[in-house]
A = this chain, B = another copy of it.
Amino acid sequence: MAKQYFSRRNLNFLLKEVFDAASVTHHPEFSHIDAESIDMIMDATVQIADNISEPIAQEMDRKQAEYENGGVTVHPKVKDYVTAMGDAGLIGAAASFEVGGSQLPHIVNAASGFVLSAANNAVTSYVGLTAGAAGLIASFGSKELKDTYLPDMYAGKWQGTMCLTEPQAGSSLHYITSSASPMEQDGMYKIKGQKIYITCGDHDQTENVVHLYLAKIDGAPAGTKGISLFVVPKFRIENGELIDNDVKTIGIYHKMGQKGAPAIHLQAGADDNCYGWLVGEPHRGLTYMFQMMNEARIGVGTTGAAIASTAYYAALEYANERPQGQRLDVKGQDPNAPQTMIINHPDVRRMLLFQKAVTEGSMALIFQGAKYADMIHTTEGEEKERYQLLLDFLTPVIKTYPTEMGLQSVSAGLQCFGGAGYCEDFPLERLYRDIRITTIYEGTTGIQSQALLGRNITMKNGKAAMAYFEEVTRDMKAARTYDDLKPYADKLAKYAQKLQEVTQHLIGFAMKGDAERFLSDATLYMEFFGTVAVAWQWLKQATVAKEALVTKNPQGDELAFYESKLHTMRFFYAYELPKTEGLATRLLDDEVLTLIEKEKEILV
């Protein structure tokens, strides 16, 4: 029996009670789905997680991926995992039947990804990247590319990757220099360049690696408008045979965490023999890539919440079993009294509630995003546009809150263990290392924050922001149905009001053309925004829980579950939401301290 690393009950609460995942089945695209089939998909996921991926999580960390003898060695069970995922139809979970996918609703896919990442966040990369790469081919590739690559990718035989970052171009893809020179055959190019940090960019548990590769066609415009997307396989197919395509692994990065998933330094075209196939139209590569990136960003948010979940359940178990000290209310009264379990210490309870509040709050926000994605697929016209706006608007927040707060949550979990948390005997030290990458890759927190404030807030003249606040207002209204939720709805309204005041204040700088001042504290703005967004999701969960308590008269574990939801909501409102007060003070303060000008010499 695997350790508990997530709560199936909570997953069902989100899937069934809060977001009604099965409600999309009226649409032809999801007509094969119902509540029962969703349960079956989750069962299959849990089977793979419990039996294949969770048991190797620690091993994959201890014996990290290595580059040796010209090849990249990873854990031998990676193939079992990827194959099982292919067999279960979960690599092509989000893809259409037409291209060999399972055409699952996004919210089911998110739930499945959450469980798998909680079980073993390193091994999920292999499938996540293949799914993302295949998705790009499925969406924008020619029939030939689809036929050539998708079957083996969705079956788990071929690995997919995303090749964006170059040594001189990370956050700023504008400056990539990988080149693509047209060959005689239409759509084919000779590729040259280097890519770094390519996760799963090469390894010994796959037959081929299919890189989705950003490069500039000779003579392309400068900057992001000259970037095109190519399929660049490790082995190309010629006359039915796999031929070396001159994509060489020239190094591996040893990382602090996620050690089971290799990060590769690739060189394409060293021998002028690297062929690439254009995906879609020239110069539209970044636009295509952004579709995948937005999904990947939500995926990274999911990883953050999932690692926080694993840490929470480990800490909860430890706190229930570890005796240490006496309860504060009886301390010192009887020196011979036995020790109490540490879960009885308020400080430990606070750390556990913090973890629970962050984990389940993040999950709700992620599922909310997935729900919007499903609504995009099942609605038309203005409604569809509205859901698209909502999803685009929230994507940077869905990436950032679960990862930034996830770091803190895992750290609190480690702290519950005391010295044991710092040692390899427990999983906390690994989880603490693993989660640290999530605020960096797929766009750092700084980049996400600029996207939120600099682009999304003003997107379509504020239409997206307006739609978002309408959603929050609607859920506040629903909460007010219950007298004991009213104070929390009021609190949320108060903090949301303050957020809007801050937003207006900052937009003032943009309107004066002062982009630097406008965005200088974007990261703090993100922190404020994310906290309010998760407070919204907690109120929403509390409303559903309250309704269940009133209408279902639950008993035993069910009663505890719903009461726990209400309690954790109250915790979030008491301990987390007030953190935004200091942020508001700072964001409304006009003292400029981080702009360059004369202050350059200040940093000494």
Any B CB within 8 A of the CB of A429: yes
Residues of B contacting A520 in the complex (Cβ-Cβ under 8 angstroms): 328, 346-347, 350
Distance between A380 CB and nearest chain B CB, rounded to angstroms: 34
Within 8 A of B (CB), among A552-604: 557, 560-561, 563-564, 567-568, 570-571, 574-575, 578-583, 585-586, 589, 591, 593-596, 599, 601-604
Quick one: copies of this chain in the complex?
A: 2
B-contact 0/1 string along A305-349, CB 8 Å cutoff: 000000000001001000111111101000110010001111111
Chain B neighbourhood of A326, CB < 8 A:
172, 174
User: Within 8 Å of chain B (Cβ to Cβ): is A237?
Assistant: no
Quick check: A316 and B603 within 8 Å, CB to CB? Answer: yes
Contact across chains for A414 and B436 when beta carbons are under 8 A apart: yes
Interface of A is mostly: helix
Q: Contact at A422–B437, with CB atoms within 8 Å?
A: yes
Answer yes or no: A222 CB below 8 A from chain B CBs.
Answer: yes
Q: Which among A168, A415, A599, A604 has the highest number of chain B CB atoms within 10 Å?
A: A604
Pick the most buried of A319, A350, A583, A594: most chain B CB atoms within 10 A of its CB. A594
Residue of B nearest to A173 (CB): B325
Which parts of A96-132 form the interface with B (CB within 8 Å)? none
A593 to B256, CA, bound (A): 36
- The tally of residues in A whose CB lies under 8 Å from a CB in B reads 107
Distance of A169 Cα from B419 Cα, bound (Å): 12
Q: Is A523 located at the chain interface by the 8 A CB criterion?
A: yes
On chain B, the residues within 8 Å of A414 by CB distance are 436
- Chain B residues with CB under 8 Å of A521's CB are 346, 350
Which B residues touch A299, using CB under 8 A? Answer: none
B335, B349, B560: the one within 8 Å of A594 (CB): B349
In the bound assembly, the distance between CA atoms of A407 and B407 in angstroms comes to: 11
| CB nearest neighbor in B for A587 | B578
Does chain B have a CB within 8 A of A165? yes
Assess the A328–B516 pair: CB atoms within 8 A. yes
Is A73 located at the chain interface by the 8 A CB criterion? no
Question: A168 to B339, alpha carbons, bound, how many Å?
Answer: 9
CB-nearest residue of chain B to A197: B419
Is A86 an interface position by the 8 A CB rule?
no
Bound Cα distance from A122 to B172, whole angstroms = 37
Inter-chain contact B421/A440, CB cutoff 8 Å: yes
Closest B-chain residue to A577, C-beta based? B582
A255-B424, A437-B422 known; A339 vs B172 contact (CB < 8 Å): yes
Say whether A242 faces chain B, with CB atoms less than 8 Å apart: no
CB<8 Å pairs between A and B, sample of 30 = A172-B326, A172-B339, A254-B424, A255-B423, A256-B433, A316-B603, A327-B516, A328-B520, A329-B514, A346-B516, A346-B519, A346-B521, A346-B595, A347-B520, A347-B594, A349-B594, A349-B595, A350-B523, A352-B603, A353-B594, A407-B411, A421-B440, A429-B436, A433-B433, A557-B604, A560-B601, A561-B604, A563-B602, A574-B591, A578-B585
Given contacts A172-B326, A407-B411, A581-B581, 8 further A-B contacts (CB under 8 A): A170-B324, A171-B418, A222-B335, A345-B446, A353-B594, A353-B603, A568-B602, A578-B583
Q: Report A's interface with B, CB cutoff 8 A.
A: 7, 165, 168-172, 174-175, 196-197, 221-223, 225, 253-257, 263, 316, 319, 323-329, 331, 335-336, 339, 343-350, 352-353, 356, 407, 411, 414-415, 418-419, 421-425, 429, 432-433, 436-437, 439-441, 444-446, 449-450, 514-516, 519-523, 557, 560-561, 563-564, 567-568, 570-571, 574-575, 578-583, 585-586, 589, 591, 593-596, 599, 601-604
